Amino acid sequence: MDGHSITMLGTGLIADFYTNTLHGQRSRDQVRVVYSRSEPRAVDFSRRWSIPEHTTDLAAAINHPATDVVIVGLPNFLHAEAIELVAKAGKAVLCTKPLGRTAAEAKRMLDTVERAGIFAGYLEDLCYTPKSLKAVASVRAGAIGDVTWVRSRETHPGPHSAWFWDGRLTGGGAIVDLGCHCIEIIRNFVGKGNRPVEVLCHTDTLVHPIADEDNAVALIRFESGAIGQFEVSWTFRGGMDLRDEVAGTHGTIWMNHFLRTGFEMFTAGGGGGYVAEKAETSAGWLFPVGDEVSELGYVDMFSDMFRALDNGGTPQETFYDGYVVNAVMDAAYRSAKAHAWAPVELEWRGGSTPRIASAPETYEGQVVIKREVLPDGRQKLILKDPASGDFSDRVVAAS
Amino acid sequence: MDGHSITMLGTGLIADFYTNTLHGQRSRDQVRVVYSRSEPRAVDFSRRWSIPEHTTDLAAAINHPATDVVIVGLPNFLHAEAIELVAKAGKAVLCTKPLGRTAAEAKRMLDTVERAGIFAGYLEDLCYTPKSLKAVASVRAGAIGDVTWVRSRETHPGPHSAWFWDGRLTGGGAIVDLGCHCIEIIRNFVGKGNRPVEVLCHTDTLVHPIADEDNAVALIRFESGAIGQFEVSWTFRGGMDLRDEVAGTHGTIWMNHFLRTGFEMFTAGGGGGYVAEKAETSAGWLFPVGDEVSELGYVDMFSDMFRALDNGGTPQETFYDGYVVNAVMDAAYRSAKAHAWAPVELEWRGGSTPRIASAPETYEGQVVIKREVLPDGRQKLILKDPASGDFSDRVVAAS
Amino acid sequence: MDGHSITMLGTGLIADFYTNTLHGQRSRDQVRVVYSRSEPRAVDFSRRWSIPEHTTDLAAAINHPATDVVIVGLPNFLHAEAIELVAKAGKAVLCTKPLGRTAAEAKRMLDTVERAGIFAGYLEDLCYTPKSLKAVASVRAGAIGDVTWVRSRETHPGPHSAWFWDGRLTGGGAIVDLGCHCIEIIRNFVGKGNRPVEVLCHTDTLVHPIADEDNAVALIRFESGAIGQFEVSWTFRGGMDLRDEVAGTHGTIWMNHFLRTGFEMFTAGGGGGYVAEKAETSAGWLFPVGDEVSELGYVDMFSDMFRALDNGGTPQETFYDGYVVNAVMDAAYRSAKAHAWAPVELEWRGGSTPRIASAPETYEGQVVIKREVLPDGRQKLILKDPASGDFSDRVVAAS
Amino acid sequence: MDGHSITMLGTGLIADFYTNTLHGQRSRDQVRVVYSRSEPRAVDFSRRWSIPEHTTDLAAAINHPATDVVIVGLPNFLHAEAIELVAKAGKAVLCTKPLGRTAAEAKRMLDTVERAGIFAGYLEDLCYTPKSLKAVASVRAGAIGDVTWVRSRETHPGPHSAWFWDGRLTGGGAIVDLGCHCIEIIRNFVGKGNRPVEVLCHTDTLVHPIADEDNAVALIRFESGAIGQFEVSWTFRGGMDLRDEVAGTHGTIWMNHFLRTGFEMFTAGGGGGYVAEKAETSAGWLFPVGDEVSELGYVDMFSDMFRALDNGGTPQETFYDGYVVNAVMDAAYRSAKAHAWAPVELEWRGGSTPRIASAPETYEGQVVIKREVLPDGRQKLILKDPASGDFSDRVVAAS
């Protein structure tokens, strides 16, 4: 029943979300030490969340004798250094997304934690939203047949912190910020053993005066033939649009995680305050979210991480997953540059997945393309002659 | 950081939901002992939730030396006896809804716990849904002005357990099962200090061959003039419909807690399994809920209860609230019988609330009924002459 | 293939909607003469809609030799006089809602047109929305079993014209303006032969400084036992909320006619213009309607009227229906005053409707209350012993 | 006020929709002659719609002296021949989508009608849905700023007629059937003068045993930089999913034309019948459409066509538009084959469109990337140093 004592690295928006979750509800886990590069931010943060100690010394924060878990909530360009130090300290490490700025960097972090033999979890919250967890379970149980196509969309009007806009520090633009979520969501639906083979990506900088992409659309072709499609944008207007759509041979799943979740408010103004992350207005029709840290997956994410840590198991999202995501993003950038499909280059550990297959039904030697029920109960068959390739209709009695 | 050790009384659907919540995520609280009137059900339940001990001896369960909190998840007609025993044991008690079968019975339970000086919480989960908590906070902050009207609707195709259908054991029909939720939701929105004055209720038994109502609609008039409207049914088709709608002088809130929450699935069948509480179908278009125990308020409810218990405070929902709810339900039944408004009879502790008031704007000595912006930017005023009572239009320059 | 030549009485919002519809798409009908009490408004209107003639002489407009149909789009207090004149002219008459200010007045108009033997249609557009027409057809075909409950809701922030606010001219407040729609929608779903027996109504003036109600909720009990529930308000914030919900023994229908129809727009402002009737904002999230005159029923309403006129038939909505609506509104006002159920007083022509009935299934001599499918495919029955009234569970093999 | 007398070529689903629309409401236009390749289908069709004459002689149908307009509702491979004949007859011609099987074929048809000088309209109904018309008008008025991205999605479980499945007769698979709609919808939003430059497309045959694609996703890059994205599928489960999403620099538009339009029905079964085009189930939760021919654009489409014809004008959708659509589809197929971007090859008449441009705001010599309002009313600026490319935060007073 004992909880974990945590060192939090970073004091930005993501560290706020993490600590809010860790200290929320009836949790037995607590942040014990917080590190920031800035003394005032470290002080503010420790007061805001009642954290006993703060420091601007990264190594001291990581090596603090009272903590057993280190959470990396730092800007992308600082992940590698922090993970190196945690590995030396021999503690469990949980790292925010994206793992690295490139697959090469992510691979080095993966190697580091594997060599050190420490527990390492990849904090990809949006794979843990309650809707996603239930939807993935339904897909595994066969509710929609074989997955053919997954669309994951994450768009908003742009990040809150200056460093996010600097591709030199992050590794890119909207793809690195948002596409990493989409890619891993897609992988959970098509199956983690389903190898991402190649990527076709279009990027553009349409609105903001920056060097990196503020919009991107990409297709990922998986070994099974399934298509993953991600759409990311820093120029969306109206709030934060997080939607996933999954198509299968026998069903369909639609999920809206943020803007349309059954909570709608109109206000003539006044009495405002915080509506939701990235909300753009505080009057008119607003669409708040009930419990953001739950709806965005933070609660289930940390539960899974600590359960795996306590049981000596593997969390749902690992550093290897983070590395795969980086490899797909690398391919996306190469594709966008080459204006053509680019292969995903990675050390694949996931095995092999067969092609989506359907053994077509036959009727009197012809291939049944489709069955439709007519108003009188009879069925209309659309048939294909395997020899000539000709198509024809046939009406038959109710089956 | 210590958690609570709990005696759970009851092994039905509600005890499952409670224990699922208590043992969920990173909780530090655990059910230690479970009581059922039936030995096999006690055994099943204790295995299902890894509970160390089970018993069919009510007093033994309550007095078990290892537990400090007792949760009453029994049928309505057994609440009073259980609470009497917990009061004697001097432990904290949390009782499921409705508190009593009548206001008189609820009042006796309230008196019992107050005399004993024990901590007592009323487990009204739907007042704790994340959406409700945020919406109530917005209302308190003034986002929709004065509340004028609250509609709370709870309908489904009927309960799962036989005893629920027997009004002799429960105190009534759909009102006692579902109306209790609605009444307390309404109270949270109009303000708990806003006295429920009278009730107008219509009940009928339209579908099921039972003695009690399977449908009811009621209006509650509060001291401020606000109207509470509840709609309950055991004959709704399509799943469980939980919706709350709040109207204010400056805004509107709509909440859908179950059937339309941004999660939609179509399945041609197969791979089914549990969809959601009271779901009626397992093929076609389905509307699952992400995390039921969170969306239905159980998580926040227990957090509030234990936080209050640990801090020596008062939870949001108390036995007094349960008593008020019973008093309103009593009035509803009296009204339905009398076919007229019935006064709410209760010992009121809530103080007084002023009438919804608006000081009308005036324009050149006339009362402004409405302002409308015209396409050219000018404003059209609808004015009322206070002397003659005549109405007129006036177009004025943009304000 | 010949169309109709129309005299339009009135130049307000409703006359605009009517003429927009009549002159829209490929219509063969045209407004030939328009009447207004105000010369400038007559001129404006005739120019706006390319109408050949306008006049401020009511009798001249009605008796104009070139027109065969007169449409009454005047304020409520002018309906009776206009209809008297049309009856004398022997032309077909179509009258806007509500027919009269009271049932007595409506009855006189009904008698007038029946004595004159002229075609008379009641322009109740919201019974003709495409969704309503299809939904009523589904209900007639048995899709939801017996109708048990219909909720019709019409709310917005208040009318656009001064006379609407003066109960001396209209006959009341929000009930007369909006409740008339709801009542007739409800009648279409429960069946027009289903007698409205009594009404329970609560009215209040919560926000606007006027003498009549700006909010009302009412229950209508029909002969079959079905409940009609209407909710009207002139204080709703957020636009115009038109929703109908129908519950049956075997199904459910939900219709949203205006604010949530699959058309959503966010705008940071600029490029505004007309959004939709009663829209309150022109920035932020907006919810326009595709084709208002179609979605609100005007197109199908006039098609039905002219088809009936051309074929010597009866339209869906007649002056008798208008009279029934007035009778129900009268009962609503009496109920609100008496704070009790009030009988509906009217000359009933609709015949008799049996009570909603269900012959309960039995199982081994016990009444089956409910069947539930268990995860393993077996069924759980909830049974009632007809002798003792006791309830019990029974698990049986899959049926 | 005279209407048109029409020859209808074809008796399939589309001819039913067209005739239903032409004969609907108060229309002054009538189908006078119907042609089918099959005598029984011609007879059935003429009876179903009360059409005076039917024939299996194509030339006779087209040259019939009583008709002035010919509507081509034939399978794709018969368009060219029919249009040739209509051109010779010198009548107005309206042709269903897609215009040709290839751009070359479409160009020949365009040349044919231009040489003959006849009125020619392209029957692209989904560009005329009431929602689309209003949305395009809002975009033109500036409501969402510059359009950056348009997603148009049309998916269902596959066509109803055998010939549709035979790419030899149609020119392809789901792209030719459905993509043609999406491309023209996208063009209406990005502007018809905005040249489609190149296409990136992925196609696959994932489920049906056919030679052509049953799924495709494509990106179209326009001269302005705007991205058009279309998604088409013959393997979607759950009905027909028609959605358009438009992103602009200052706003967002979401349209759902079919499955979620504010009309929801649950039925336990029974009383079924037609729900909506391509609906897959007749029990459980169903999502009918109010008035299909209106919601799908047929009503406004024919109104525009006949208005243009009567006034000597040009309809919104012309044969040139049909040709552009074919050119984009050709590029999509070439791209899918080449696995790379393919240029759109066409004779462009649309002029030139400037690049989406935004003149970034500056603050003390730095570029303003973003402004955010803080809870205390102050603003946080994210700034970029144009010299170093470094980003920084700056908090300033409320503007």
Contact by Cβ (8 Å): A395, A370:
no
Distance of CA D138 to the CA centre of its chain: 18
Question: Which positions in chain A touch C281 (Cβ < 8 Å)?
Answer: 283-285
Question: Which positions in chain C touch D142 (Cβ < 8 Å)?
Answer: 270-271
Kindly report the nearest CA distance between residue A37 and chain B, in angstroms: 30
Confidence of residue C374 (pLDDT cuts 50, 70, 90): confident
Contacts C–D by Cβ distance under 8 A: 175
Rounded-to-integer distance, Cα D215 and Cα D179, Å: 10
Looking at chain C from residue 250 to 279, which residues have their Cβ under 8 Å from any Cβ of chain B? 250-252, 273-274
Q: What is the pLDDT of residue B167?
A: 92
Contact: A285, C285; criterion CB under 8 Å: yes
Looking at chain B from residue 143 to 172, which residues have their Cβ under 8 Å from any Cβ of chain C? 144, 148-149, 151, 155, 157-158, 160-163, 165-166, 168
B137-165 pLDDT per residue, tens: 999 999 999 999 999 999 999 998 899 99
Q: What is the pLDDT of residue A371?
A: 86
A139-181 pLDDT per residue, tens: 999 999 999 999 999 999 999 889 999 999 999 999 999 999 9
Question: Which positions in chain C touch B160 (Cβ < 8 Å)?
Answer: 372, 380
Residue segments in chain D with a per-residue pLDDT below the cut of 50? none
Rounded-to-integer distance, Cα A10 and Cα B138, Å: 30
DSSP state letter for A176 = I
C248, pLDDT greater than 60: yes
Touching chains, C (3+ CB pairs < 8 A): A, B, D
Kindly report the nearest CA distance between residue D238 and chain B, in angstroms: 6
Question: Which positions in chain C touch B151 (Cβ < 8 Å)?
Answer: 231
Looking at chain B from residue 104 to 123, which residues have their Cβ under 8 Å from any Cβ of chain D? none
Contacts A–B by Cβ distance under 8 A: 176
Rounded-to-integer distance, Cα D154 and Cα D143, Å: 25
Neighbouring C-beta atoms of residue A118, cutoff 10 Å = 18
Rounded-to-integer distance, Cα D125 and Cα D131, Å: 12
What average pLDDT does this structure show over C82-95?
A: 98
Looking at the complex, does the CB of residue B94 fall below 8 Å from at least one CB of chain A? no
Mutate to test the interface with C, among A280, A285, A286, A287 (most CBs of C within 10 A): A285
Q: Vertex D116, ends D115 and D122: CA angle to 5°?
A: 90
Rounded-to-integer distance, Cα D100 and Cα A39, Å: 69
Using only the alpha carbons of chain B, give its radius of gyration: 24
Looking at the complex, does the CB of residue D173 fall below 8 Å from at least one CB of chain A? no
Question: Which positions in chain D touch C94 (Cβ < 8 Å)?
Answer: none
Contact: C237, A283; criterion CB under 8 Å: no
Which tokens go with A322?
A: 């983070």
Residue A56: φ, ψ to 5°: -110, 15
Contact by Cβ (8 Å): D297, D25:
no
Contact: C268, A287; criterion CB under 8 Å: no
Kindly report the nearest CA distance between residue D99 and chain A, in angstroms: 22
Closest CA to D189 of D263, D230, D136, D233: D136
B303, pLDDT greater than 70: yes
| Strand ranges across the sheet with A366-373 | A362-363, A366-373, A379-384, A391-396
Q: What is the pLDDT of residue A359?
A: 74
B376, pLDDT greater than 90: no
Q: What is the mean pLDDT of chain C?
A: 94
Touching chains, D (3+ CB pairs < 8 A): A, B, C
Looking at the complex, does the CB of residue D285 fall below 8 Å from at least one CB of chain B? yes
Q: What is the pLDDT of residue C112?
A: 98
Rounded-to-integer distance, Cα B83 and Cα B94, Å: 9
Which tokens go with C161?
A: 């014209």
Rounded-to-integer distance, Cα B264 and Cα D49, Å: 39
Residue A117: φ, ψ to 5°: 70, 25
Looking at the complex, does the CB of residue C195 fall below 8 Å from at least one CB of chain B? no
Rounded-to-integer distance, Cα B9 and Cα B19, Å: 11
Q: What is the pLDDT of residue A261?
A: 95
B162-214 pLDDT per residue, tens: 999 999 999 999 999 999 999 999 999 999 999 999 999 999 999 999 999 99
C84, pLDDT greater than 80: yes
Contact: B389, C168; criterion CB under 8 Å: yes
pLDDT of chain A, 399 residues: tens digit per residue: 589 999 999 999 999 999 999 999 999 999 999 999 999 999 999 999 999 999 999 999 999 999 999 999 999 999 999 999 999 999 999 999 999 999 999 999 999 999 999 999 999 999 999 999 999 999 999 999 999 999 999 999 999 889 999 999 999 999 999 999 999 999 999 999 999 999 999 999 999 999 999 999 999 999 999 999 999 999 999 999 999 999 999 999 999 999 999 999 999 876 556 667 777 777 899 999 999 999 999 999 999 999 999 999 999 999 999 999 999 999 999 999 999 999 999 999 989 999 987 778 899 999 999 888 877 778 889 999 989 989 998 989 876
Which tokens go with D320?
A: 């040139």
Contact by Cβ (8 Å): B37, B28:
no
Contact: A250, B268; criterion CB under 8 Å: yes
Q: What is the pLDDT of residue C371?
A: 86
Question: Which positions in chain C touch B217 (Cβ < 8 Å)?
Answer: 219, 227, 229
Question: Which positions in chain D touch B285 (Cβ < 8 Å)?
Answer: 238, 281, 284-287
Strands D263-267 vs C251-256: parallel, antiparallel or unpaired: antiparallel
Question: Which positions in chain B touch D239 (Cβ < 8 Å)?
Answer: 266
Rounded-to-integer distance, Cα C170 and Cα C98, Å: 9
C359, pLDDT greater than 90: no
What average pLDDT does this structure show over C179-201?
A: 97
B288, pLDDT greater than 60: yes
B104-150 pLDDT per residue, tens: 999 999 999 999 999 999 999 999 999 999 999 999 999 999 999 99
Question: Which positions in chain D touch C28 (Cβ < 8 Å)?
Answer: 1, 3, 26-28
Kindly report the nearest CA distance between residue A286 and chain C, in angstroms: 7
Confidence of residue C272 (pLDDT cuts 50, 70, 90): low
B231-287 pLDDT per residue, tens: 999 999 999 999 999 999 999 999 999 999 999 999 987 655 666 777 777 789 999
Q: What is the pLDDT of residue B271?
A: 57
Q: What is the pLDDT of residue D114?
A: 98
Q: What is the dihedral of CA D35, D39, D43, D45, to 10 degrees?
A: -50
Contact by Cβ (8 Å): A61, A33:
yes
Q: Which of A1, A29, A266 sits opposite B252 (nearest CB)?
A: A266
Q: What is the mean pLDDT of chain B?
A: 94
Which tokens go with A81?
A: 């250094």
Contact by Cβ (8 Å): C229, C152:
yes
CB-based contacts of D252, cutoff 8 Å, min separation 6 = A236, A237, A238, C265, C266, D144, D245, D246
Mutate to test the interface with A, among B147, B263, B307 (most CBs of A within 10 A): B263
Question: Which positions in chain B touch C236 (Cβ < 8 Å)?
Answer: 247, 252
Rounded-to-integer distance, Cα D213 and Cα D210, Å: 8
Rounded-to-integer distance, Cα A365 and Cα D245, Å: 44
Rounded-to-integer distance, Cα C336 and Cα C200, Å: 7
Looking at the complex, does the CB of residue C135 fall below 8 Å from at least one CB of chain D? yes
Rounded-to-integer distance, Cα D383 and Cα A210, Å: 11
